[in-house]
Amino acid sequence: MTKLTVTFLGTSSAAPTRERGLPAIAVQREGEVVLLDCGEGAQRAFLAKRIGLNREMSVLVTHLHGDHVIGLLGLLQTMSMAQRTRALTIVGPSRLKEWIERTQALLQFGLSFRVEFLPARPGTVVRTRGFVVKAARAKHSVEAFAYMICEKPRPGVFFPDKAAALGVPEGELWSRLQRGRPVKVGERVVAPSDVMGPARRGRRVGYSGDTRPSASLARFFAGCDILIFDSTFKRGDREKALERKHSTCTEAAEVAKAASVHALALTHFSARYAGVASLVREARRVFPDTFAARDGMTVEVPQPDS
Amino acid sequence: MTKLTVTFLGTSSAAPTRERGLPAIAVQREGEVVLLDCGEGAQRAFLAKRIGLNREMSVLVTHLHGDHVIGLLGLLQTMSMAQRTRALTIVGPSRLKEWIERTQALLQFGLSFRVEFLPARPGTVVRTRGFVVKAARAKHSVEAFAYMICEKPRPGVFFPDKAAALGVPEGELWSRLQRGRPVKVGERVVAPSDVMGPARRGRRVGYSGDTRPSASLARFFAGCDILIFDSTFKRGDREKALERKHSTCTEAAEVAKAASVHALALTHFSARYAGVASLVREARRVFPDTFAARDGMTVEVPQPDS
């Protein structure tokens, strides 16, 4: 079974603390990385978690606030010094490209690899080897996007007994069926559905970025396996959440509940709180399958049916 | 005795390692901070070393390579979020101002305090409460400066016995003499030199930034108390040092020796070396009073006469 993991590289909000770095989250599957935001310090978190600098990678930027993007500059430079060769895809608000290119010109650094900038907009923003990534508008103080990283559907279970019973010899023809293509045995055509179970849906990781909660985000995140949601404030600090266009832990839980997700990860905690146990307690009153992200934590996204 | 300290916040070169962050060094005296370069991660090192965000502060930037300046963006933003009120002085190559202002515009962040940008150029670049800062040209692949942070001369030792013998009553008149001003006692004028030893020279911290060694830098750093010098490479990797316009540990030691400094701190180590003990050994063959900087290390700059 292919592992799909989420690693939290930075879990603070606007300012870092001694324990929490600025926002960055790595979703990994079969060597491929989807990086969600890239706050200052992300490249050192890559080192600590041994995420290679030449991996097949896409970066999804939610919005152009410094705490979510400044780490990109050092990451790009260090990738270049490490002689990265693979192209890097960056999805984000369109002025991100302008900022990176201006910075490159002023700080005089070239890159050893190609960067493909794709503008974020509602709908499918990029298809990678393992994922289809969708975006939706978030509600923040500047243009902002939420993302859903959808693992591509995986083929159904293959039944060797059925294939043998239909006279398909083991080897190349089995592989072809497993890849979803029909084969001919003598005069007879055997379809993949004759020897395989139904296709299994891919797993889905949702990420809100900085946002107020909304019914449209709950629809966007419907049924996802892990929802990572803005939880900057405690329930009692809702006024601050309203003013700064963030969410409270309780509001994150309400979105998770409305979206019927499988698990909720709280992150982007305000530096004002010494600990976050009370935020988790408050959220669990609304949505029990809640946990608090912490820097360096890796969670495996479970099978949809398990 | 006023303490003057040097705290190494980041001691790697172009790319960070698990143990070493990007270049940043804090010189501190009586609450005032002079920050030498500001690589990514400096703001978290401030937190770890409990350096306040509203301190009287000057930032001296040696050159506009990303590893020496990217940390400024997050530091400025976090200072603003902490409601910094004091003006901040930044000395560096003139395009630094352009880069910061462009970034502010694109990432939409204002500052709660005034920034005074001063262009780096050979000679005295800024006078602060406690220091006079001088700059000299360094030899790197882009315009680069070395800095000398000179503590202002301190008044000589005050002798209470002499003041009493001359009939100066303790209190306001003693303070005035200690501040270097003459006082009148009856018909007689008492000069500071009547009751105090000679003025003591201030302590000096030299910082090379990224550079090849040179005779002019050795003259610039003459007699400084601690010289912090580019030591990117081992002696055996001199070809790489030449090509990339850095110094080897041995070349750093040769500058320290020619400049008759009191102590040499090696820093800016290439990530290629797992440890730096051999760089210190090689440097000590030329200049014995050498040590290797490491992240989080604080050294006190000793009295010139001790």
Q: Is residue B304 part of a domain?
A: no
CB-closest option in A14, A70, A78 to B15: A78
Q: Is residue B305 part of a domain?
A: no
Please indicate, yes or no, whether residues B179 and B97 belong to a single structural domain of this protein. no
Please indicate, yes or no, whether residues B184 and B81 belong to a single structural domain of this protein. no
* Confidence class for position A45, pLDDT limits 50, 70, 90: very high
pLDDT at residue number B154:
83
Distance CA A286, CA B155 (A): 67
Q: What is the CATH number of the domain that holds B140?
A: 3.60.15.10
pLDDT at residue number A303:
78
Average predicted confidence (pLDDT) for chain A = 95
pLDDT at residue number B99:
96
Rounded to a whole number of angstroms, the distance from the CA of A165 to the nearest CA of chain B is 57
Q: Is residue A249 part of a domain?
A: yes
Is there a contact between A43 and B43 if contact means CB atoms under 8 Å apart?
A: no
Kindly state the tokens that stand for B57.
């502060």
**Chosen from A12, A13, A17, A44 to mutate, greatest number of chain B CBs within 10 A:** A44
Interface residue A86 vs chain B (CB under 8 A): no
Q: What is the mean pLDDT of residues A40-67?
A: 97
Residues of A in contact with B66 (CB under 8 A): 73-74, 77, 103, 107, 109
Interface residue B51 vs chain A (CB under 8 A): no
pLDDT at residue number B305:
64
Interface residue A51 vs chain B (CB under 8 A): no
Please indicate, yes or no, whether residues A181 and A35 belong to a single structural domain of this protein. no
Is there a contact between A107 and B69 if contact means CB atoms under 8 Å apart?
A: yes
> What is the set of active-site residues of A?
67
Please indicate, yes or no, whether residues B175 and B253 belong to a single structural domain of this protein. no
Tens of pLDDT along A143-192? 999 999 999 988 888 999 999 999 999 999 999 998 889 999 989 999 99
Please indicate, yes or no, whether residues A182 and A58 belong to a single structural domain of this protein. no
Q: Is the pLDDT of residue B2 over 90?
A: no
Interface residue B30 vs chain A (CB under 8 A): no
Please indicate, yes or no, whether residues B72 and B208 belong to a single structural domain of this protein. yes
Tens of pLDDT along B46-71? 999 999 999 999 999 999 999 999 99
Please indicate, yes or no, whether residues B145 and B284 belong to a single structural domain of this protein. yes
Domain count, chain B: 2
Q: What is the mean pLDDT of residues A229-234?
A: 98
CB-closest option in A44, A74, A142 to B66: A74
Rounded to a whole number of angstroms, the distance from the CA of A179 to the nearest CA of chain B is 42
Angle at B171 between CA B170 and CA B175, to 5 degrees: 105
Interface residue B93 vs chain A (CB under 8 A): no
CB-closest option in B40, B64, B107 to A99: B107
Rounded to a whole number of angstroms, the distance from the CA of A211 to the nearest CA of chain B is 17
**How high is the ipTM of this complex?**
0.90
Window 253-272 of A, Cβ < 8 Å to B: none
Rounded to a whole number of angstroms, the distance from the CA of A291 to the nearest CA of chain B is 25
Residues of B in contact with A95 (CB under 8 A): 106
Please indicate, yes or no, whether residues A130 and A39 belong to a single structural domain of this protein. yes
Q: Is residue A270 part of a domain?
A: yes
Strand partners, A266: A229, A292
Tens of pLDDT along B91-107? 999 999 999 999 999 99
Please indicate, yes or no, whether residues A295 and A224 belong to a single structural domain of this protein. yes
Tens of pLDDT along B228-278? 999 999 999 999 999 999 999 999 999 999 999 999 999 999 999 999 999
Please indicate, yes or no, whether residues A283 and A185 belong to a single structural domain of this protein. no
CB-closest option in A43, A106, A109 to B16: A43
Distance CA B266, CA B248 (A): 10
**Chosen from A18, A107, A140 to mutate, greatest number of chain B CBs within 10 A:** A107
Structural domain for A183, as ranges: 160-195
Average predicted confidence (pLDDT) for chain B = 95
Please indicate, yes or no, whether residues B36 and B96 belong to a single structural domain of this protein. yes
Interface residue A142 vs chain B (CB under 8 A): yes
Q: pTM for the whole thing?
A: 0.91
Rounded to a whole number of angstroms, the distance from the CA of A155 to the nearest CA of chain B is 40
Is there a contact between A15 and B81 if contact means CB atoms under 8 Å apart?
A: yes
* Confidence class for position B135, pLDDT limits 50, 70, 90: very high
Distance CA B230, CA B253 (A): 10
Q: Is residue A149 part of a domain?
A: yes
* Confidence class for position B76, pLDDT limits 50, 70, 90: very high
Q: What is the mean pLDDT of residues B195-218?
A: 95
Q: Which residue has the higher pLDDT, A8 or B306?
A: A8
pLDDT at residue number B306:
46
Q: Is residue A187 part of a domain?
A: yes
Interface residue B21 vs chain A (CB under 8 A): yes
pLDDT at residue number A306:
47
Q: Is residue A148 part of a domain?
A: yes
Tens of pLDDT along A185-231? 989 999 999 999 988 889 999 999 999 999 999 999 999 999 999 99
Is there a contact between A74 and B18 if contact means CB atoms under 8 Å apart?
A: no
Q: Is residue B306 part of a domain?
A: no
Please indicate, yes or no, whether residues A115 and A80 belong to a single structural domain of this protein. yes
Interface residue B144 vs chain A (CB under 8 A): no
pLDDT at residue number A154:
83
HEC secondary structure over chain A: CCCEEEEEEECECCCCCCCCCCCEEEEEECCEEEEEEECCCHHHHHHHCCCCCCCCEEEECCCCCHHHHCHHHHHHHHHHHCCCCCCEEEEECCHHHHHHHHHHHHCCCCCCCCEEEEECCCEEEEECCCEEEEEEECCCCCCCEEEEEEECCECCCECHHHHHHCCCCCCHHHHHHHCCCCEEECCEEECHHHHECCCECCCEEEECCCCCCCHHHHHHCCCCCEEEEECCECHHHHHHHHHHCCCEHHHHHHHHHHCCCCEEEEECECCCCCCCHHHHHHHHHHCCCEEECCCCCEEECCCCCC
Interface residue B232 vs chain A (CB under 8 A): no
